[in-house]
Amino acid sequence: MKIVVLERGSLGNDISLDGLNQFGEVVICDNAAMEEVSNLVSDADIVLVNKLPMNEETIGNASNIKLICECATGYNNIDLEYCKKKNITVTNVRNYSTSSVAQHTFALLLSVYERLFYYDQFVKNGTYATTNSFSHIAKGFHELDGKTYGIIGLGNIGRQVAKIATAFGCKVIYYSASNNTYDVPYENVDLETILTTSDILSIHCPLTDKTNKLLTYDNIKKMKKDAVIINVGRGPIICEEDLAKALDEDLIAGAGLDVFEVEPIKADNPLLKVKDQNKLVMVPHIGWGSVEARTRLVKDIEESITAFLAGKPRSVVI
């Protein structure tokens, strides 16, 4: 059995892949280039992949592949119809990052909400040492207690975020673009309501035709002037050009972003040119990636391979 790991770098070098050795020969590539894939998987039985495309072009000459393990939940990089035609089983990993993303949501929120970047720099650049006051409150910040916390997408992560928001004293409301309703103690509202009443708007939904460019300039304009947007869902849910414009026009107070329309972010992204960068906290899609979450992910993949080889596949996409 030959296993090829195409994007080891996406899992982090601090997480061991030694558990894969029990299944046979393991070939590990840090971050394979697309043009290398066909050759790398030519004699593979099992392929572990994250973002690289798995289609006729990349795996068409690999006659031995029996299993593709998506090292994530989303699998839009895999041509499922082609894999089905070639009798290749595809698995993914589900619910491994709920705690990590929920925690990260509030790390972003509190950084923006309390203007921590500004105050951190005020101390570190030496300005605080030159003042004659014990405190410095040049930029106002607010408490979460009593605020309305709007959640777009009440899946596992959204529900965990709702619990934490409730613990902070927030009133939680939610909007489902797919019109789902849930047996939860939170009010289900329409898009107009969640935009106009939320003090914090937290995005946790998948990218679909209904959520693509959900937050445009016109929709952001409906929000409160002191509202904050947090996006840990998918980048294209927000029109980045419109968000940059809204921030520059003080239509909302700030945003915390873990995801972007194009990843890695382009050098000419309008968000990088927002006049007051203190309004923004932007990090490179790390919310899913706590040590614990990545450890769970790798363990889940090992369990999926074990189950597949035993003739009882699990976490199967097709």
Q: Which positions are annotated as active-site residues?
A: 234, 263, 285
Distances (CA, A) of 223 to 51, 227, 244, 246, 249: 34, 7, 15, 10, 13
- The identity of residue 15, as a single letter, is I
Strands 67-70 and 46-49: parallel
d(CA 207, CA 237): 7
* Reduced 3-state DSSP string for 148-205: EEEEECCCHHHHHHHHHHHHCCCEEEEECCCCCCCCCCCEECCHHHHHHHCCEEEECC
d(CA 72, CA 51): 9
Q: Helix or strand or coil: residue 70?
A: strand
Q: What are the tokens at 285?
A: 């899609």
d(CA 278, CA 287): 20
